[in-house]
């Protein structure tokens, strides 16, 4: 059986091992496949029955041109790159990796917050540039430093990652409030659920952990920012389109929003004209919350488990039932 990995580099830039796939057949790995070149995608799939992909899109045209294809394993949680209906019509099973990096993503969200509050890298750079050596006082700081104890953090989305962020926040002395369309008992054990408008009004920090749905696209917008406290901090390492970026940039530049920590943007890689690149007090990292080696190992192992379950006739994590 031939297995093709269309874009393996992101998951495995060389520090992991694909050989767990050998028990199912032989595999071919492409580091990258041009995402807008349909002919290249079709050529690389060829007569393969099994495809693994992270961000290479599979459209109806691709499925129709690859009749031997039986299985697509998405090596990520999001599967919007796949035409799910076309896969179903062509009797192709599609799976994803629903949970693999909960703690790592929550950790990274807190790292963004701590950088905003403490400006560690800025002051490290200032010391190495000689400013401390030349300073007449025993210390200095260029930005107001913020203590998180006693602050209220509002978690917009309170699933596994939101709850993990809630646990970390409570351990640091913060009050946790959360909004979720589907409250559950596990969340209530962590802290209190509130309405969306209450979260906007009460939170000193707003951290986004909700999926990208029709009613969450652009949920951070001019109107909702106006409902927030002056000097609020906004974090997003969930999905970029949750934020109307020009509205957030304007709020940062005006001081309404004190700072933002973002690991995702609406178009990735980021466009050079994205207004957030020049916005005040905005930290942007290149979608790496998930990328700790430990989480990538787990992701790959789950991807292999998904394939094995499919081949045994008992598929799991199927997204196109």
Q: Which positions are catalytic?
A: 239, 268, 287
Burial state string for 221-240 with b = 16 or more CB within 10 A and e = fewer than 16:
beebbeebbeebbbbbbbbb
| Residues 196, 130: Cα–Cα separation, whole Å | 47
Residue 134: exposure state from Cβ atoms within 10 A (0-12, 13-18, ≥19)? exposed
Question: Is cis: bond before 269, omega within 30 of 0?
Answer: yes
Residue 176: exposure state from Cβ atoms within 10 A (0-12, 13-18, ≥19)? buried
* Distance set, CA 62 to CA 6, 47, 89 (Å): 13, 12, 12
| Residues 161, 172: Cα–Cα separation, whole Å | 17
| Residues 300, 304: Cα–Cα separation, whole Å | 6
| Residues 301, 245: Cα–Cα separation, whole Å | 35
Query: Assign residue 297 a region: left if phi > 0, alpha if psi is -120 to 50, beta otherwise?
Result: alpha
């Amino acid at each position: 059986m031939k297995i093709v990995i269309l874009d393996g580099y992101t998951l495995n830039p060389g520090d992991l091992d694909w050989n767990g796939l050998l028990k199912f057949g032989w595999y071919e790995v492409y580091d990258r496949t041009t995402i807008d070149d349909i002919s290249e995608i079709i050529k690389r799939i060829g007569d393969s029955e099994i495809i693994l992909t992270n961000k290479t899109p599979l459209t109806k045209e691709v499925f129709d041109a690859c009749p031997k294809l039986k299985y697509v394993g998405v090596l990520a949680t999001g599967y919007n790159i796949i035409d799910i209906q076309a896969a179903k019509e062509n009797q192709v099973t599609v799976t994803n990796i629903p949970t693999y990096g909960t703690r790592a993503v929550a950790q990274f969200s807190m790292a963004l917050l701590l950088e905003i509050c403490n400006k560690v890298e800025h002051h490290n750079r200032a010391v190495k540039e000689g400013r401390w050596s030349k300073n007449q006082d025993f210390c200095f700081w260029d930005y107001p430093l913020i203590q998180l104890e006693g602050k209220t953090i509002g978690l917009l989305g309170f699933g596994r990652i939101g709850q993990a962020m809630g646990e970390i926040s409570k351990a640091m002395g913060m009050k946790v409030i959360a909004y979720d369309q589907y409250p559950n008992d596990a969340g209530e054990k962590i802290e209190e659920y509130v309405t969306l408008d209450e979260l906007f009004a009460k939170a000193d920090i707003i951290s986004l952990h909700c999926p990208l749905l029709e009613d969450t696209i652009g949920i951070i917008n001019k109107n909702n920012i106006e409902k927030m406290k002056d000097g609020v901090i906004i974090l997003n390492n969930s999905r970029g389109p949750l934020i109307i970026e020009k509205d957030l940039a304007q709020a940062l530049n005006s001081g309404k929003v004190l700072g933002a920590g973002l690991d995702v943007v609406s178009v990735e890689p980021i466009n050079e004209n994205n207004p957030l690149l020049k916005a005040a007090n905005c930290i942007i990292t290149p979608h790496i919350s998930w990328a700790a080696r430990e989480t990538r190992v787990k992701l790959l192992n789950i991807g292999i488990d998904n394939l094995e379950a499919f081949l045994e006739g008992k598929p799991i994590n199927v997204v196109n039932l």
